[in-house]
Structures are given as C-alpha cells and as structure tokens.
Amino acid sequence: MGDIGRRAGVLAAVVLTSAALTGCGLLGGGGRGEPGWVHDEDARRYYRPGVLLQSAELVDEHFPALGEPARVSLAEGRFTDPDERIPLPAPDDYWWQAVLELAPEDARELVTASASAGASDAGGAPDSGGGTLEPVDEAEVLALLVPSLEEELAACEGGWVSVLPALARGDGGDITVAGDLIEIAALCEDSGILVTSAVDM
C-alpha cells in the first residue's frame, strides 16, 4: 500500500509540474483565446494575425536617430514554427517589423542623412542635397511584410526609397545600433511612412 501511495504522489507531482510549465509557456502553445501562429509563405516567417504592438521601445532601442514617430505598428515572431518542441531557438530565429509614421521634418532629415551616408547612386531618385537614394519596389516591401502590417500601409504614389544607410550603425554593415540585421528600411517620402524589418542577431 505504501508503494502505491508513493507512486501516486510522484505521478501527482509530475502532473502538477507539467501543468505549471505549460501555463508559463515553457512547453509551447498559447493560452486559450490567444491567436495562433500562422506561416506567411511570402515573407517566410511565423506571425500572429491581428497582434500588433504600438510601443516604440524596440524602435527607440535600434533606431535612436529617428526621433519620436507619430504612429507605431509593430509585429514580431519567428522563422521556425513556435509550436514545435525545440529546447532553445537560435538567436537569429526571431524577427520584428514596424510601420512608422514620421513627422515631415523627420522624414526629410532621414532622406538627407541617407544620401550623405552613401546611399547607392544607381538609378536613384535625387534628394534635396544632390545625392541619390536607392529606390525600393513596392512589391518588395509588401512581400517582406506580414499581412497584419500590410493593412497599415497605403499606396505610395511617389515610390519607396531605401534609408538603410542612415539607420545602420555606420561600420559598413546592415546592422542596427543594438545589433539586429536590417532586412529593409524603406521610406515613402510622400506620406512619411517608414517600413523596417530586422532579424535578431
């Protein structure tokens, strides 16, 4: 009888521990009512539909030169399936994207800084300082963004330009000040909308 009681006690402890870990999210899966993960085939990443953050904290950390955006919409997720049971995802498995609305003067400063930082002069659109900015095709912007953020965009009549040189940390790589790899940094000069996508390094 004592042996059975001990086994029952151990089994109860295992069940309680498993329940606690699941509740903490350590065994994967989301809580009830939380949106599930969806794989976006075009962007090749997992995201949660309808889940957008409005905090500028991540943007401030990685792009301090931007100032204070008038509006921030941010999505984040992983490249591998978050529901798979893996011990610890690789650092570069995480990504985040933002659609930012900049004040007109901040957008102009970003264009000028990008031109002076050495943006490509091949087929670019001239800026007010006489330099050139590399154009970015709208299809490229839309293909990289997850659908939740695509809904935050309007058509850019004047076209998108790359402002990556002004946002990179300045050592020749496409790396943010805080060390993430920049996939895209495209500005619509007409509207002051900036789209960024970065991968955690």
Query: 77 with 114, same domain?
Result: yes
58 versus 171: which is more confidently predicted? 58
Q: Please, are residues 9 and 15 in contact by the beta-carbon 8 Å criterion?
A: no
Instruction: Name the most confidently modeled range: 7-11, 32-36, 123-127, 183-187.
Output: 183-187
Q: Please, are residues 74 and 54 in contact by the beta-carbon 8 Å criterion?
A: yes
Check residue 36 and report its DSSP letter.
P
Q: Which residues are CB-contacts of 179 (< 8 A; sequence separation ≥ 6)?
A: 201
pLDDT of residue 201: 86
Quick: pLDDT tens for 105-152.
999 999 999 998 864 434 444 444 446 899 999 999 999 999 999 999
Query: 102 with 91, same domain?
Result: yes
pLDDT of residue 172: 72
Query: 63 with 115, same domain?
Result: yes
pLDDT at 173 over 90: no
User: What does pLDDT average to over the chain?
Assistant: 81
In angstroms, the CA 166 to CA 146 distance is 24
Q: What is the pTM of this model?
A: 0.76
Phi, psi of 168 (to 5 degrees): -75, 160
49-to-1, 27, 87 alpha-carbon distances in Å: 53, 22, 25
Domain containing 6 equals 1-32
In angstroms, the CA 94 to CA 144 distance is 15
Model confidence at 85, in pLDDT bands (50, 70, 90)? confident
Tally of domains within the chain: 2
